[in-house]
Structure 1
Amino acid sequence: MMSRSPSMTNPSDSYPMRLQRFLARAGVSSRRGSERLMTEGRVRVNGTVVTELGSKIDPLRDEVSVDGKVCTLADRHCYLLLNKPAGYLTTMSDPYGRPTVADLVPVDEYPGLYPVGRLDADTTGCLLFTTDGRVGQNLLHPSHNVDKTYIACISGSLSETEISALEHGVEMDGCTAAPARVEVIEAGDRRLVPVRPDGLREREQVVSLTVHEGRKHQVKRMFFAVGHLVKSLHRARFGPLEAGSIPEGSWRLCTDAEIDALFSAAGLERGG
């Protein structure tokens, strides 16, 4: 068994990944098959044969080859959907050690994974992660008008005048929000569950609000502008993606059809 090359990463480096995981993600073989390739001495990292199954590499820096053929993840981006629970910051690290969404997704298996946009710590729901910076950037760009649908439990009840203000562009903090789509959710509607699983309390209302802007605290600010506080907030949809049946705090990989829809929403041609 040969020792690892000095240029290989250790667990403290930026994006360490187990070598057999890298090989599986690169489409070389299954995880178990990749382990067999390693033990047979057919895998090299930066020119050095690596047979130790615990070995880790940095896909951004290290060159991996099998039988002399270089392997790459360049065309195998990850697109992953998390049903974010409350109490987690939308960041990949926190200097104060507070819980972050990075604790909930497989960052070791998908180096470079990051959240597309942000949800407040107390907001739950649909949060896309990807390693594809081009798609992520385009989905957030104002020119693409990607819809985000939120289910909000608010204090009081919206009047027709207030609904009209939200639908035509409400003034908030010296700027005008883009027009939103508003729907009052009735008791018994399953969409009420993420924000009020035990039912509505007195002087509360559940409202679906669809916006395409992404300003800081936008939904809370829009409701505040028409005189209502947001008591709880859940993002039910981001572009073509829905949290749906994903348990809170869990994630799943996007389907091929969903990835196609993301590229379309981002104004990109898949594979182009």
Structure 2
Amino acid sequence: MLAHLGYGSRSDLKKAVKNGLIEVNGIRVKDSGMQVDPEQDEITVSGEKIVYREFVYLLLNKPQGVVSATEDNRDRTVVDLLSEAYAPFDVFPVGRLDKDTEGLLLLTNDGKLAHNLLSPRKHVSKTYYAKVEGAVGENDKQAFEAGVELDDGYVTMPAQLRVLTCDIIVDPPRSEIELTIQEGKFHQVKRMFQAVGKRVVYLKRISMGPLQLDPALGLGEYRELTREELELLQGKPSHDSGPGVDDDLHK
């Protein structure tokens, strides 16, 4: 358990046991292979009480230039942004954002939750803010609501387009929009605008299902989900809006 939580290798922990640094329910451990119940037993290392967690859930404000992967031979990954404290949990990004896309990305080691959020049958909404080269208007809203045909012939599900600003004085015109989709095809937002003759020049994801990007997080910063956020993602009624573990760390 302690190795899984990152308190050292098995050999390190054997030395800690030998030096009397580990206690279970107030009694010094003599065998590093001792069986414990993390839910019932009180475990301390050098006097520090250990809180066991099987899963962690991190909300990251992904910056540009970082890839949504656990490892990459050329570029920094979103996992590289995390503290070493999370290394033992083997977290992975839930879905992906393009290398040049910013914004909300969930990282976890909870495979079941990740599957539910990514399953096409669940129709989890994802909302993006974008700056677009071109005058986005009512015709585009109607096209997106009907579904547009991408360059490979795929017709998208209906999407909700909201135009925030449209500046037709400049050349070329520029628009700011919010787009909500319920699928995640490769480069989908960019390709949808390409299908209506426009080009996305900046893209940021601002929500995924009930989870909103925290405005307090700068680019590259992250925090653990609050209990309320996690319960909303899991589809549970929320009774507690208190913070999760280490909410204010790792910013």
Shorter-chain-normalised TM-score: which range?
Answer: 0.7 to 0.9
Q: Which amino acid aligns with 2:6?
A: M
Residue of structure 2 aligned with 1:208, choices 157, 173, 178: 178
Match of 1:184 in 2: 163
Residue of structure 1 aligned with 2:36, choices 69, 73, 76: 69
Match of 1:32 in 2: none
Write out aligned runs for 1:31-180 (5 A): 40-42=20-22, 49=31, 65=34, 69-71=36-38, 76-96=54-74, 98-106=75-83, 108-109=85-86, 110-172=88-150, 173-180=152-159
CA gap 1:39/1:237 in 2 versus in 1, 3 angstroms? farther
CA gap 1:228/1:129 in 2 versus in 1, 3 angstroms? same
CA gap 1:178/1:74 in 2 versus in 1, 3 angstroms? farther
For residues 230 and 129 of structure 2, the distance between their equivalents in structure 1, rounded to whole angstroms, comes to 24
Match of 2:225 in 1: 254
Percent pairwise identity = 35
Contact 2:94–2:118, Cα closer than 8 Å, also in 1: yes
For residues 119 and 37 of structure 1, the distance between their equivalents in structure 2, rounded to whole angstroms, comes to 44
CA gap 1:146/1:39 in 2 versus in 1, 3 angstroms? farther
For residues 146 and 255 of structure 1, the distance between their equivalents in structure 2, rounded to whole angstroms, comes to 20
- Indicate whether 1:231 and 2:211 are aligned: no
Superposed displacement of residue 43, structure 1: 5.3
For residues 247 and 39 of structure 1, the distance between their equivalents in structure 2, rounded to whole angstroms, comes to 43
SS at match of 1:259: helix
- Indicate whether 1:263 and 2:234 are aligned: yes
Superposed displacement of residue 168, structure 1: 1.2
Superposed displacement of residue 69, structure 1: 2.3
Unaligned runs of 5+ in 1: 1-7, 10-14, 21-35, 51-62, 188-199, 266-272
Q: CA RMSD in A?
A: 3.1
For residues 16 and 233 of structure 1, the distance between their equivalents in structure 2, rounded to whole angstroms, comes to 36
Contact 1:114–1:130, Cα closer than 8 Å, also in 2: yes
SS at match of 2:97: coil
For residues 202 and 152 of structure 1, the distance between their equivalents in structure 2, rounded to whole angstroms, comes to 16
CA gap 1:249/1:225 in 2 versus in 1, 3 angstroms? same
1:110-160 CA-to-partner distances (Å, cap 9, x unmatched) read 512110000000000000011100000111001111110001111111232
For residues 181 and 18 of structure 2, the distance between their equivalents in structure 1, rounded to whole angstroms, comes to 50
CA gap 1:88/1:48 in 2 versus in 1, 3 angstroms? farther
CA gap 1:216/1:43 in 2 versus in 1, 3 angstroms? farther
For residues 115 and 240 of structure 1, the distance between their equivalents in structure 2, rounded to whole angstroms, comes to 17
Superposed displacement of residue 225, structure 1: 0.4
Superposed displacement of residue 105, structure 1: 2.0
Contact 1:107–1:113, Cα closer than 8 Å, also in 2: no
Residue of structure 1 aligned with 2:6, choices 17, 35, 50: 17
Contact 1:154–1:205, Cα closer than 8 Å, also in 2: yes
Contact 2:55–2:89, Cα closer than 8 Å, also in 1: no
After TM superposition, the score normalised by the length of structure 2 is: 0.73
Contact 1:181–1:209, Cα closer than 8 Å, also in 2: yes
Match of 1:23 in 2: none
Q: Which amino acid aligns with 2:232?
A: A
Contact 1:42–1:49, Cα closer than 8 Å, also in 2: no
After TM superposition, the score normalised by the length of structure 1 is: 0.68
Q: Give the count of matched residue pairs.
A: 208
SS at match of 1:171: coil
Superposed displacement of residue 253, structure 1: 0.5
CA gap 1:117/1:74 in 2 versus in 1, 3 angstroms? farther
For residues 180 and 17 of structure 2, the distance between their equivalents in structure 1, rounded to whole angstroms, comes to 50
